[in-house]
Amino acid sequence: MATSIISWNVNGMRAVLKKGFMDWFEKTQPDILAVQESRVLPDELKPEHLEPKGYTSFWMPAQKRGYSGVAAYVKKEPLNVTNLGKSEFDDEGRVQVLEYKNFTLINTYFPNSQPERKRIEYKLKFCDAIKRYCNKLVKNGTNVVLCGDYNIAHTEIDIARPKANVDSPGFLPEERESMDKFLNAGYVDTFRHFNKEPGHYSWWSYRANARANNVGWRIDYHTVNTDFLPQVKSADILSDVMGSDHCPVTITLK
């Protein structure tokens, strides 16, 4: 039986709930929905938003209120739910690890390196910690699905205006190189495995009609370890789904 996993940076759970999120969720019915930038504590939500029919949810909020945070809605409960085990990242609600029998899903909200490279060191440290964590799991025989908002447009075809954004957070050489290192360590960008065409994006600025004109960035991913790739049936970007400045990205496992 196929397993569908959707990842979506909702840019605030309370905001997206006012924009038809539950209707979309009910209609789409993924097996797992991983959300980033939830920016909410679970007790601030209504019971029907925490436990929609057929689902259980797990939350990893940031310690700072109204900031960051990841969560997952699941049809089948994982064997275990943890975080990265590193307070500098876990305190910002950046990682959620859901262990299943056939794979481990790592739901991630990578830091933004910010203007003038303000948080580039923190970002690169996070990238390195994620790579080490994934490598450890794979070495122990566990298959990995790393989903979420990586805050990195990896190559020039992942961004509408590469030349104009060489010095922009999310397209800095150091960030792109960290993505190279990760993929070269034995992981596959599932969307690019199926689709080599430009013009596919998952985030658009709210300014200058960027989404209507498709002037976007592809910064949301599902990557898997190479050995697990044969189990990936498809990968897609749901660019017609509104409610956030990001759109959902999805993979289906065989």
Average pLDDT for runs of 10 along the chain of length 254: 96 97 98 98 96 97 96 98 98 98 98 97 98 98 98 98 97 98 98 98 96 98 98 98 98 97
The whole-angstrom separation of Cα 135 and Cα 84 is: 13
* Ramachandran quadrant class, 97 (left: phi over 0; alpha: psi -120 to 50; beta: rest): beta
Token pair in block for residue 141: 């025989």
So what's the pLDDT on residue 1?
Answer: 84
CATH C-level class of 3-253? alpha beta
So what's the pLDDT on residue 172?
Answer: 98
Q: Which of 149, 158, 189, 220 is catalytic?
A: 149
CA angle, corner 142, sides to 5 and 170, nearest 5? 55
Check: CB of residue 31 under 8 Å from CB of residue 74.
Answer: yes
Residue ranges per domain, the chain?
Answer: 3-253
Question: Does residue 149 have an active-site annotation?
Answer: yes
This prediction's pTM: 0.98
Q: 184 Cβ partners below 8 Å, 6+ apart? A: none
H helical segments located in the chain: 13-17, 21-28, 47-50, 87-90, 120-139, 173-184, 190-194
So what's the pLDDT on residue 154?
Answer: 98
The β-bridge relationship of strands 3-9 and 95-99 is unpaired
